[in-house]
Amino acid sequence: MEVAARAVGRVDVLQIRGPIRTGSQVALRDAVAEAIERNRIRLVVDLAETVSMDSLAIGELVACLKRVREVGGDIKLVVRPDGIVHEMLQLTRLDTAFEIFGDEKQAAASYSSPN
């Protein structure tokens, strides 16, 4: 798994590539912790190129959401609507905890839209 972080205006995008499996989810945790340390708490986690996730990865995603929300931020997800990650989020009902978008631009723009 690879994590590439970049700023898009006031939003940080964490692009995840490859499978997220036991042990590799630590890279996601570290990237979110670094963003919080820099007071970058509007996050988009782009999972469009993530080919699979195990239960530890899903748990880590939820833990990251909790940490970011505790400091007043949020995490929005980008997933392929026909992909396995989207299916897993639906099966675990996490599609109700995260706002899910089909592309990064929509996800980043949603931070400036009124809820």
For 64, other C-beta atoms within 10 Å of its C-beta total 22
Q: Output the average pLDDT for the chain.
A: 92
Is the CATH number of domain 2-109 3.30.750.24? yes
Instruction: Tell me the one-letter amino acid at 98.
Output: F
DSSP letter at 7 equals E
Mean pLDDT over residues 98-108, rounded? 96
Tokens of 17: 């590539």
Question: Which of the pair, 113 or 74, is modelled with greater confidence?
Answer: 74
DSSP string of 55-109, one letter each residue? HHHHHHHHHHHHHHHHTT-EEEEE--TTSHHHHHHHHTTGGGTSEEESSHHHHHH
State pLDDT tens for residues 17-60: 988 888 888 899 999 999 999 999 999 999 999 988 888 889 99
pLDDT at 114 (0 to 100): 59
What are the backbone angles phi and psi of residue 14, rounded to the nearest 5°? Answer: -110, 105
% pLDDT > 90, the chain: 77
- What does the domain layout of the chain look like in residue ranges? 2-109
* Cα 96–Cα 17–Cα 61 angle in degrees, nearest 5: 35
Do 101 and 76 form a contact (C-beta atoms < 8 A)?
yes
Q: For residue 89, is pLDDT > 90?
A: yes
Do 18 and 49 form a contact (C-beta atoms < 8 A)?
yes
Give the pTM: 0.92
Distance CA 102, CA 18 (A): 18
Confidence band of 5 (pLDDT split at 50, 70, 90): very high
